[in-house]
Amino acid sequence: MMMLPIHSRFPPMTQRIRARRSPIHGRGVFALADLAKGDCVVRYRGELISHAQADERYGDDGESGHTFLFTLNEQYVVDGNRRGNVARWINHSCMPNCQAVIEISAGGDPRRDRILIEAVRDIAAGEEITYDYGIVLAVPHTAAMKRLWPCHCGAARCTGTLLKRRRRTEGGHARVECKM
Question: pLDDT per residue over 85-99, tens digit each?
Answer: 999 999 999 999 999
Rounded CA-CA distance 30/18 in Å is: 5
Categorize the per-residue pLDDT at 172 as very low, low, confident or very high, splitting at 50, 70 and 90: very low
pTM of the predicted protein model: 0.80
Q: Report the percent of the chain where pLDDT is more than 90.
A: 55
Categorize the per-residue pLDDT at 61 as very low, low, confident or very high, splitting at 50, 70 and 90: low
Mean pLDDT within 173-177: 41
Question: pLDDT per residue over 120-149, tens digit each?
Answer: 999 999 999 999 988 877 777 788 888 888
For 6-39, b/e burial (b = at least 16 CB within 10 A) is eeebbeebeebbebeebebeeebbbbeeebeeeb
Mean pLDDT within 99-103: 94
Q: Report CA-CA distances (Å) from 144 to 26, 50, 69, 138, 140.
A: 22, 28, 21, 15, 10
Task: Quote the mean pLDDT of the chain.
Answer: 82
Higher per-residue pLDDT: 65 or 94: 94
Q: State residue 24's pLDDT score.
A: 93
Question: pLDDT per residue over 27-51, tens digit each?
Answer: 999 999 999 999 999 999 999 999 9
Q: State residue 62's pLDDT score.
A: 55
Query: How much of the chain is helix, strand and coil, in % rounded to 5?
Result: 15, 30, 55
Q: State residue 46's pLDDT score.
A: 96
Q: State residue 171's pLDDT score.
A: 44
Please state the domain extents for the chain. Answer: 6-133
CATH homologous superfamily of 6-133:
SET domain (2.170.270.10)
Enumerate the β-bridge partners of residue 130. Answer: 91
**Is residue 83 over pLDDT 70?**
yes
Categorize the per-residue pLDDT at 66 as very low, low, confident or very high, splitting at 50, 70 and 90: low
